[in-house]
Structure 1
Amino acid sequence: MSVYRPKDKDGNTSPFYVYDFQYKRRRFHGNTECRTKSEARKVEERERERAKELLRNEAVLAEAPMTLDIACGKFWIDIGQYYNGNARKTFKSSLAWLVKHAGADLLLSEVTNRLVSDLVATRRGEGVKNATVNRTVTEPLRRVLRKAADAWDQKVGKINWDSHLLEEPDERVRELTKDEEARIVAALTEDYQAVFRFALLSGFRLSECVNLKWSDIDWHGRTVSVLGKGNKRAKIPLTKDLRELLFPLQGRHPEAVFAYKVRRPRKGHRAKGEYCPMTYEGTKTAWRRALAKEETGVTDFRFHDNRHTAATRLLRSSGNLKLVQKLLRHEDIATTTKYAHVTDEDLRLAMETAAESQGKSQDRKSKTA
């Protein structure tokens, strides 16, 4: 069985098919990102052809200096295809970008500091942020070259990688105000209002929201199970607010918790009035459209900022950073400390309270004098 939907350790079946096959004693495995078996088989066939070509190139060039194209392909087979989620997709497209802009026939020994600098400049010219340049150019290229030198016995020039990494601003924590929350709810359709409210209450990432299954909800045990980063399974409490939000959604779809009602039917695919599982890209599109409405009036706010908002609200109400760590499922509390910030409004209120308290104290002293 080379195309299948895997199960995690708790027996929950993934909504996406993976391919898993061997060619000349080499294993090729990865997520097709397809929900139907027929589409997954098409992806598998493309991966089989790609594997054959890559191994043919490896055999021909086994004793020859390695080109960037071959090195990127080998790195993908050996390591990249096993990355998870969006990281896998981003890394694959990054390798393709490097090969296109640096040249497929470029020898690894010909990669110089000047070339890396030019690649960084080219990517910056595409209007992306510094963090994106680092993540899609410098870091992937560094991984490939280090692997080639350490494991494939390839001659690689000395690159000063630190000099090519662009400065990144500290990760911001954008919190949604109650007024902004109300305006976003008004801008979203009823179906997508539910997933938005769930993200605000649970701190789930977008991918975790759309992949949530009814089998993940333990009504009696009052927990919600989630498959997070690194395919790690965790649970959060099913609070009263979460229960009231999720309970009415039952019956829309047999597996997916969050589903949308079809308003424009597609012949042979879906019927009007049918509920279909929400997808990552579909939900991102609905989110962008809602925030693009002039009447929404919410700027500089991503879906992931709902997670920041959930964390900040919990910290403000409890004052306990450990609880925030548990909600967000951070292994290291150092990752959670970025939420231990004080907003301007918090600071203003604290200063006014302190001043008021000091004023009352002085009044009491003057009366007793």
Structure 2
Amino acid sequence: MTYSHLDPAMHHRVAWNAGKTVGTKRPLTQKQIWAIRFFLDREERLRDRALFDLAIDSKLRGCDLVKLKIGDLVAGSDIRNRALVIQQKTGRPVQFEITADARASLATWLLRRGGPADGYVFPSRLDHRRPMSTRQYARLLDELVTAVGLRREDYGTHSMRRTKAAMIYRATGNLRAVQILLGHTKIENTVRYLGVDVEDALLLAERTEI
């Protein structure tokens, strides 16, 4: 439901973002990633460890991540090294890598989870025929960052999408590669997404000696 700013009801209506931190969410650091992994392993949360690892590797939006099916990630009895999905937002395909840590945690989770190739990797707790909701995914991330002493207001589902992309950019300065990995149609979107500014450009230039 929407309201006009002229409606009397709006005079006492509190803004949806009052008291909240809005804007770009921070990516996680390597130290924070390992802290969260340690927490998940200690608590023996197989599903959440697999979801966390895959979220970082895939760099997918939450809506695409939760809808992954077992057949998207498994070939025969093995977890794929790479996978491809069609993005819900753009309708365009995007590929991503699945590294050794993610393959190991996924294999452990899928062995426990079972199910057919057309089943969701992370099904809803209420109905296994449906995927986990993006809201449930967001709540889980709130819990994880809080568990390792971070402010949940500073992090969100896009933190997971940005984490590895930001690391790749800092290591290489290759915006085009990051654009492809994120599935952005325009490099300007990648620049805004990573928060690339003049300082970043100058640091890259200073590293280059001629």
Q: Same fold (TM over 0.5)?
A: yes
1:253 aligns with 2:114: yes
Aligned-pair CA distance for 1:337: 0.9
Q: What is the distance in 1 between the residues matched to 2:104 and 2:49?
A: 14
Preserved CA contact (<8 Å) 1:225 1:233: no
* Runs of 5+ consecutive residues of structure 2 not aligned to the other structure: none
Q: What is the distance in 2 between the residues matched to 1:331 and 1:341?
A: 17
Q: What is the distance in 2 between the residues matched to 1:282 and 1:312?
A: 25
**Counterpart residue identity of residue 323, structure 1:** A
Aligned-pair CA distance for 1:204: 1.0
Q: Do the aligned partners of residues 240 and 310 (structure 1) sit closer, same or farther apart at CA in structure 2, a change above 3 Å counting?
A: closer
Q: Do the aligned partners of residues 332 and 191 (structure 1) sit closer, same or farther apart at CA in structure 2, a change above 3 Å counting?
A: same
| Alignment equivalent of 2:186, drawn from 288, 313, 332 | 332
Q: What is the distance in 1 between the residues matched to 2:165 and 2:66?
A: 20
1:199 aligns with 2:55: yes
* Runs of 5+ consecutive residues of structure 1 not aligned to the other structure: 1-96, 102-115, 131-168, 271-275, 355-369
**Equivalent residues in 2 for 1:4-15 (5 A)?**
none
Aligned-pair CA distance for 1:185: 3.2
Aligned-pair CA distance for 1:317: 2.2
**Equivalent residues in 2 for 1:146-225 (5 A)?**
171-172=23-24, 174-188=26-40, 189-217=45-73, 219=75, 222-225=81-84
Q: What is the distance in 2 between the residues matched to 1:305 and 1:281?
A: 15
Match of 1:60 in 2: none
Which of structures 1 and 2 has the bigger CA Rg?
A: 1
Q: What is the distance in 2 between the residues matched to 1:187 and 1:120?
A: 49
Q: What is the Cα-based RMSD across aligned positions, in Å?
A: 3.9
**Counterpart residue identity of residue 126, structure 1:** V
Q: What is the distance in 2 between the residues matched to 1:120 and 1:227?
A: 45
1:318 aligns with 2:149: no
| Alignment equivalent of 2:93, drawn from 234, 243, 258 | 234
Aligned-pair CA distance for 1:196: 1.4
Matched residue count = 187
Match of 1:85 in 2: none
Q: Do the aligned partners of residues 230 and 172 (structure 1) sit closer, same or farther apart at CA in structure 2, a change above 3 Å counting?
A: closer
Task: Give the 4+ runs in structure 1 shifted more than 6 A.
Answer: none
1:126 aligns with 2:14: yes
Preserved CA contact (<8 Å) 2:25 2:156: no
Aligned-pair CA distance for 1:323: 0.8
Match of 1:117 in 2: 5
Q: What is the distance in 2 between the residues matched to 1:120 and 1:337?
A: 41
- With normalisation by structure 1, the TM-score equals 0.42
1:341 aligns with 2:202: no
